[in-house]
């Protein structure tokens, strides 16, 4: 029965890949020999993928990401990135089964999804969630059930740390943290000559709140002033009151650490109020649905830039473009890295046992698209941030900031 | 008629409280103007007006339906949401301009609300009031989550394309957008039409009669079911227009967008005196001002905004349950 299901799954996967290959216009041949799509649309493994995928025993991996709701494009990119790494490994002969679950960037939905993939589907490894507020409840379940979780993009410290300050044995992440991102953006604001800043954040979102707090502390420590530090709630749509304060305070820079959707709404109202400050933000801006014309001249910190010349980045970018017809965003990149870190750890462990794999992961040396990754004591990767500028209606690589 | 001394004392106390309240409000407003300057204050007032006029359109539907069938139609906020989506499709898919889009949204909402009334509320007309109230909450959830399905509107935030460009005028430092002006004009127009229907037409007379005494109206030969349907239809048309105006003012829509404005409008209707049309209008303007002034003048105000809104509800229920313009009426047993 299970075998039949697997066969069906395989057929469906191949068909969907083939179909997606058909619907996208055939890209002009690229001079990179590692990633030319065949007519059937199957993925030719790259050299690096073949190295990683040395495992042969079947494993079951759950991808728990938001596929609907406020930040669905984040979830879809993450799914695509992770699936690409997994399909590369599959193409190298590794029988990997994937369970997809929609967790909607919501604490409750995420708990339900995690329980489902662990208890019903029997997955031993979870890639996800995107949002910190959803990853934290999953991490508690993973820790209790001894299931290995690697979150591609959740930046809140509490994802990998217990309340008593000890590290969660089974939980890792592929991205840098809120404190780092907040500090980077505060430093950038100072560098841009800002003296007064406004910070607006969603108080119900751990990630956004974390970024706001660290940016404020860091900006003030460097001599800046934050006359407007205002929280709003997820359902707010009228920002005229807050923006009235911002206009009256005459700030140089406005830090909007929220995700693209809320920022689109806030930026539209900033324009109507005639406020001229520079807008800056975190990696929550990184979406094709960000309305670039509203953010012209703004900056945000990100995990990688497609302009990075390293071959591992260029190979990944061209392979992803060939497959999905778009430049990979940071979400897809981190999910790809997260999946490859997981696969490499499983391959190194040589057994389908999350406890052994977790030990291997803690000691990993991995060269990824988002930088060289190794883990510190608290299961956080050590790497650099890329600053992206919105210029001429598109994203332009500005510079790297190393810790 | 002689009043007992105790009653007299109570009445005097009540007037003293009102006087104190009045003085307090005037003093508070003067203090607010002085705090950050008049431009800041009047900017907030203008922004509050914009919100208040939208709330007014929603609150009218609440209050009319309550006046006729004594039902708080909690699905009203979701009808408002459907109005926003209807105009979104009209504008982005078919490229309609503002006036046809708003008329289209009003028609869609009217039909929807008539269906809701027929399917969900009419069978419960003789049931206890609480049954209809719970059903209204059920209808509300149904609308929110059904429309959130992928093949309906989807659960995503959608950027709303305005049917016209935003123009900003600066009057003595206070910025007024054409959106604010349009909201005020459209709401006023609809209010005048409503006033005409309720007080100058035969249908309006029937509505007023039904709201006074349902059974007696029926005995007088009034088609009570027809009147109830008409009331739901008018309320929905207003909510649909409100949805369009709200989406134009804050250009992002999602199927859950109706919850908060719906609740605020409900509070506004209670504040003005539920069942009373001018009361709902005044209550809504006050709610809009409270919303914006709280955020503008208190630190971390946007977290306190909803708290204040619902505090108003509690205070009204405790101090004057009939609201500003509502009359005390004896419950018919």
CATH class of A178-302: alpha beta
Taking CB atoms and an 8 Å limit, are A241 and B157 in contact across chains?
no
Taking CB atoms and an 8 Å limit, are A240 and B305 in contact across chains?
no
Taking CB atoms and an 8 Å limit, are A268 and B251 in contact across chains?
yes
User: What is the average per-residue pLDDT within A58-72?
Assistant: 90
Q: Residue A325: phi, psi to the nearest 5?
A: 70, 25
Measured between CB atoms, which of B177, B257, B302 is closest to A232?
A: B302
Strand A225-232 relative to strand A171-173, pairing:
unpaired
Cβ contact A373:A352 at 8 Å = no
Strand A96-102 relative to strand A59-65, pairing:
parallel
Structural domain boundaries enclosing B232:
52-262
A107 Cα to chain B: minimum distance (Å): 17
Find which of A200, A240, A245 to mutate to test the B interface (most B CBs within 10 Å of its CB): A240
CA angle B276, B281, B284 (to 5 degrees): 115
Cβ contact A216:A199 at 8 Å = yes
Q: pLDDT grade, residue A100 (50/70/90)?
A: very high
Cβ contact A268:A239 at 8 Å = no
User: What is the average per-residue pLDDT within A331-355?
Assistant: 92
Q: Residue A159 gets which letter from DSSP?
A: G
Taking CB atoms and an 8 Å limit, are B251 and A265 in contact across chains?
yes
B180: Cβ contacts below 8 Å, ≥ 6 apart = B46, B47, B49, B50, B249
Q: pLDDT grade, residue A1 (50/70/90)?
A: very low
A339 Cα to chain B: minimum distance (Å): 27
For residue B229, which of B318, B325, B127, B116 has the smallest C-alpha distance? B116
Does the beta carbon of A288 lie under 8 angstroms from any beta carbon of chain B? Answer: no
Residue A16 has pLDDT above 80, yes or no: no
Taking CB atoms and an 8 Å limit, are B302 and A231 in contact across chains?
yes
Rounded Cα gap, residues B29 and B34, in angstroms: 9
Which residue would you say has higher pLDDT here, B52 or A32? B52
Taking CB atoms and an 8 Å limit, are A68 and B295 in contact across chains?
no
Q: Residue A370 gets which letter from DSSP?
A: T
Find which of A205, A238, A259, A272 to mutate to test the B interface (most B CBs within 10 Å of its CB): A238
pLDDT score, position B241: 96
B128: Cβ contacts below 8 Å, ≥ 6 apart = none
pLDDT score, position A207: 84
pLDDT score, position B329: 59
Residue A313 has pLDDT above 90, yes or no: no
For residue B262, which of A235, A203, A68 has the smallest C-alpha distance? A235
Taking CB atoms and an 8 Å limit, are A242 and B260 in contact across chains?
no
Residue A39 has pLDDT above 80, yes or no: no
Measured between CB atoms, which of A241, A264, A272 is closest to B295?
A: A241
User: What is the average per-residue pLDDT within A256-274?
Assistant: 92
Residue A45 has pLDDT above 70, yes or no: no
Answer yes or no: is B295 within a domain: no
Answer yes or no: is B210 within a domain: yes
Does the beta carbon of B92 lie under 8 angstroms from any beta carbon of chain A? Answer: no
Answer yes or no: is B115 within a domain: yes
Using CB atoms and an 8 Å cut-off, which of residues 169-208 of chain B contact chain A? 175, 177
Count residue pairs from A and B with Cβ separation < 8 A: 88
Answer yes or no: is B43 within a domain: no
Q: pLDDT grade, residue A72 (50/70/90)?
A: confident
User: What is the average per-residue pLDDT within A311-319?
Assistant: 90
Q: How high is the mean pLDDT of chain A?
A: 83
Does the beta carbon of B76 lie under 8 angstroms from any beta carbon of chain A? Answer: no
Q: Where are the domains of chain A?
A: 2-175+311-382, 178-302
Residues of B with CB below 8 A from A244's CB? 40, 43-44, 47, 295-296
Measured between CB atoms, which of B36, B294, B302 is closest to A230?
A: B302
Mean pLDDT by 10 residues, chain B (333 residues): 78 88 89 86 93 95 90 93 96 92 96 95 89 94 93 88 89 90 95 92 92 90 92 95 95 93 93 89 94 89 88 88 73 44
Find which of A233, A241, A243 to mutate to test the B interface (most B CBs within 10 Å of its CB): A241
Burial of residue B221 (CB within 10 Å: 0-12, 13-18, 19+) is: exposed
Q: Which helix or strand (DSSP H or E) is residue A259 part of?
A: none
pLDDT score, position A8: 47
Rounded Cα gap, residues A151 and A140, in angstroms: 13
pLDDT score, position A227: 92
Q: Residue B173 gets which letter from DSSP?
A: T
Does the beta carbon of B245 lie under 8 angstroms from any beta carbon of chain A? Answer: no
Q: What homologous superfamily does CATH list for A2-175+311-382?
A: Response regulator (3.40.50.2300)
Q: What is the pLDDT of residues A319-328, one digit of tens each?
A: 999 999 988 8
Which residue would you say has higher pLDDT here, A83 or A18? A83
Structural domain tally of chain B? Answer: 1
Rounded Cα gap, residues B28 and B211, in angstroms: 38
Answer yes or no: is B268 within a domain: no
Q: pLDDT grade, residue A48 (50/70/90)?
A: very low
CB atoms within 10 A of CB B118: 14
pLDDT score, position A402: 61
pLDDT score, position A19: 39
Percent pLDDT > 90 in chain A is 50
Q: Residue B269 gets which letter from DSSP?
A: H
Does the beta carbon of A273 lie under 8 angstroms from any beta carbon of chain B? Answer: yes
Answer yes or no: is B5 within a domain: no
Residue A125 has pLDDT above 80, yes or no: yes
Does the beta carbon of B162 lie under 8 angstroms from any beta carbon of chain A? Answer: no
Taking CB atoms and an 8 Å limit, are B154 and A68 in contact across chains?
yes
Exposure letters A335-366 (e unless 16+ CB within 10 A, then b): bbbbbbbbbbbbbbbeeeebebbbebbbebeb
User: Matching CATH topology for A2-175+311-382 and A178-302?
Assistant: yes
């Amino acid at each position: 029965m299970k075998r039949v299901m697997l066969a069906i799954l395989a057929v469906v996967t191949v068909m969907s890949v083939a179909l997606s290959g058909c619907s996208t216009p055939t890209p002009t041949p690229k001079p990179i020999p590692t990633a030319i799509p065949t007519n059937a649309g199957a993925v030719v493994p790259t050299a690096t993928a073949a190295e990683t995928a040395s495992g042969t025993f079947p494993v079951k991996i759950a991808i728990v990401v938001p596929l609907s709701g406020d930040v669905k494009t984040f979830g879809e990119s993450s799914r695509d990135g992770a699936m690409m790494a997994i399909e590369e490994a599959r193409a190298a002969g590794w029988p990997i089964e994937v369970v997809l679950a929609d967790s909607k960037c919501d604490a409750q939905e995420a708990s339900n999804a995690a329980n489902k993939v662990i208890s019903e589907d029997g997955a031993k490894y979870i890639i996800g969630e995107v949002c910190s507020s959803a990853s934290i409840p999953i991490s508690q379940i993973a820790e209790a059930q001894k299931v290995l979780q690697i979150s591609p993009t959740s930046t809140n410290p509490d994802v990998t740390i217990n309340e008593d300050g000890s590290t969660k044995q089974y939980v890792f992440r592929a991205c840098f943290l809120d404190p780092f991102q907040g500090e980077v953006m505060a430093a950038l604001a100072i560098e841009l000559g800002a003296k007064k800043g406004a910070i607006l954040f969603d108080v119900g979102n751990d990630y956004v709140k974390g970024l706001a707090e660290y940016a404020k502390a860091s900006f003030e420590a460097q001599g800046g002033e934050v006359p407007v530090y205002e929280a709003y709630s997820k359902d707010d749509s009228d920002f005229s009151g807050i923006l009235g304060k911002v206009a009256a305070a005459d700030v140089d820079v406005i830090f909007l650490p929220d995700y693209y959707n809320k920022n689109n709404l806030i930026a539209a109202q900033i324009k109507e109020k005639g406020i001229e400050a520079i807008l800056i933000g975190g990696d929550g801006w990184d979406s094709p649905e960000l309305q670039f014309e509203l953010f012209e001249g703004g900056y945000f910190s990100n995990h990688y830039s497609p302009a990075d010349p390293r071959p591992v980045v260029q190979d990944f970018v061209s392979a992803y473009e060939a497959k999905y017809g778009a430049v990979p965003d940071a979400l897809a990149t981190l999910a790809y890295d997260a999946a490859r870190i997981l696969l490499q750890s499983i391959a190194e462990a040589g057994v389908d046992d999350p406890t052994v794999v977790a030990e291997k992961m803690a000691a990993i040396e991995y060269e990824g698209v988002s930088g060289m990754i190794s883990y510190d004591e608290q299961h956080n990767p050590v790497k650099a941030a890329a600053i992206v500028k919105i210029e001429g209606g598109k994203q332009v690589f500005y510079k790297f900031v190393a810790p | 008629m002689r009043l007992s001394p105790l009653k007299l004392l109570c009445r005097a106390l009540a007037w003293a409280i009102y006087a104190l309240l009045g003085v307090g409000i005037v003093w508070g407003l003067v203090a607010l103007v002085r705090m950050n300057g008049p431009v800041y204050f009047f900017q907030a007032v203008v922004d509050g007006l914009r919100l208040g006029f939208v709330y007014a359109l929603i609150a009218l539907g609440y209050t009319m339906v309550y006046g006729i069938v004594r039902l708080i139609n909690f699905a009203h906020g979701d009808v408002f949401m459907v109005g926003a989506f209807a105009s979104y499709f009209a504008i982005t898919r078919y490229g309609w301009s503002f006036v046809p889009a708003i008329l289209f949204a009003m028609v869609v909402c009217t039909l929807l609300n008539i269906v809701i009334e027929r399917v969900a509320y009419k069978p419960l007309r003789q049931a206890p009031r609480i049954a209809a109230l719970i059903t209204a909450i059920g209808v509300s959830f149904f609308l929110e989550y059904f429309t959130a399905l992928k093949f309906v509107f989807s659960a995503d935030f959608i950027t709303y394309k305005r049917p016209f460009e935003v123009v900003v005028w600066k009057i003595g430092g206070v910025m007024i957008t054409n959106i604010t002006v349009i909201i005020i004009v459209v709401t006023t127009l609809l209010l005048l039409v409503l006033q005409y229907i309720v007080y100058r037409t035969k249908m309006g007379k029937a509505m007023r009669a039904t709201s006074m005494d349902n059974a007696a109206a029926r005995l007088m030969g009034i088609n009570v079911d027809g009147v109830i349907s008409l009331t739901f239809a008018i309320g929905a048309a207003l909510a649909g227009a409100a949805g369009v105006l709200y989406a134009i003012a804050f250009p992002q829509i999602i199927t859950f967008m109706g919850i908060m404005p719906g609740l605020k409008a409900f509070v506004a209707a209670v504040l003005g005196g539920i069942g009373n049309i001018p009361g709902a209008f005044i209550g809504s303007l006050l709610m809009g001002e409270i919303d914006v002034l709280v955020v503008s003048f208190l630190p971390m105000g946007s977290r306190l905004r909803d708290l204040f809104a619902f505090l108003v509800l509690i205070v009204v229920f405790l101090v004057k349950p009939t609201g500003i313009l509502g009359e005390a009426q004896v419950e018919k047993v």
